[in-house]
Structure 1
């Protein structure tokens, strides 16, 4: 995944988190702008499925003309977008609980950062140096990986 794709997904996550944190009604226009931004940028940087899905949802928003959205409604409506943007954190319980084989000859590091761009950059740099790297933006997943 290139840096532009990572940046877009991080921006989408940031907006979704802001809506979650504010716990208020979200205006129709704001939802439309959000989807419009995703659809335009996605196609340009090669995230075609995300762009196509955003356009479909944008058309549904246009037809609905709902005045405001509560976060639960919006979360359900945007489920496909959310799945795509958090895809790297979706992992089966079996994978999380699978023991990690640690070799004495391989350096190991666990990276945790909510800045996805930085996380990917650091992971790449450590791997170039021969380290075995586990990287996550989820503190819960990091704790699970560390304690297993």
Structure 2
């Protein structure tokens, strides 16, 4: 996979994470999210992050997966989910912000430094 395609996949992954988190965190106060759905989302993110060699994101999702049971019948409200996913939210926000600030004059997203730093550790 060439560098341009890798950056497209990375940008797509972080965009998908942002969209899912936004959808969940904008739910009405009484709405809930099943633990199984959260587990599947985290598992998918972990696998994709691993494939794209995003070590920081992989580590965050591994830690989060340790805190949720795939077979749980639990449902999470917006506040519980925000607290549980805080590190993922923070990481995603930083990467997206850095990407937006790294746009070139033609409006293309350049390879954000956060992606490269993440691969180092």
Q: 2: distance between equivalents of 1:127 and 1:53?
A: 30
Q: Please report how far the alpha carbon of residue 48 of structure 1 lies from its aligned counterpart in structure 2 after TM superposition.
A: 1.0
Q: Which residue of 1 aligns with 2:91?
A: 84
How many aligned residue pairs are there?
101
Moved segments of 4+, more than 6 Å: none
Report Cα offsets for 1:41-62 as digits up to 9, x if no partner: 0011121111121012112102
Aligned residue among 34, 47, 65 for 2:54: 47
RMSD of the alignment, in Å?
A: 3.0
Establish whether residue 19 from structure 1 lines up as the match of residue 24 from structure 2: yes
Aligned residue among 10, 13, 35 for 1:5: 10
Q: Which residue of 1 aligns with 2:106?
A: 126
1:127 and 1:90, CA in 2 relative to 1: closer, same or farther beyond 3 A? closer
TM-score, with length taken from structure 1:
0.58
Report Cα offsets for 1:51-80 as digits up to 9, x if no partner: 121012112102893610011111111111
Q: Which residue of 2 aligns with 1:75?
A: 82
Q: 1: distance between equivalents of 2:70 and 2:20?
A: 23
Q: SS state of the match for residue 76, structure 1?
A: helix
Structure 1 or 2: larger strand share?
1
Q: 1: distance between equivalents of 2:101 and 2:7?
A: 10
TM-score, with length taken from structure 2:
0.70
Q: Which has the greater radius of gyration?
A: 1
Q: Which residue of 1 aligns with 2:116?
A: none
Q: 2: distance between equivalents of 1:73 and 1:90?
A: 25
Q: 2: distance between equivalents of 1:127 and 1:90?
A: 14
Q: 2: distance between equivalents of 1:8 and 1:14?
A: 10
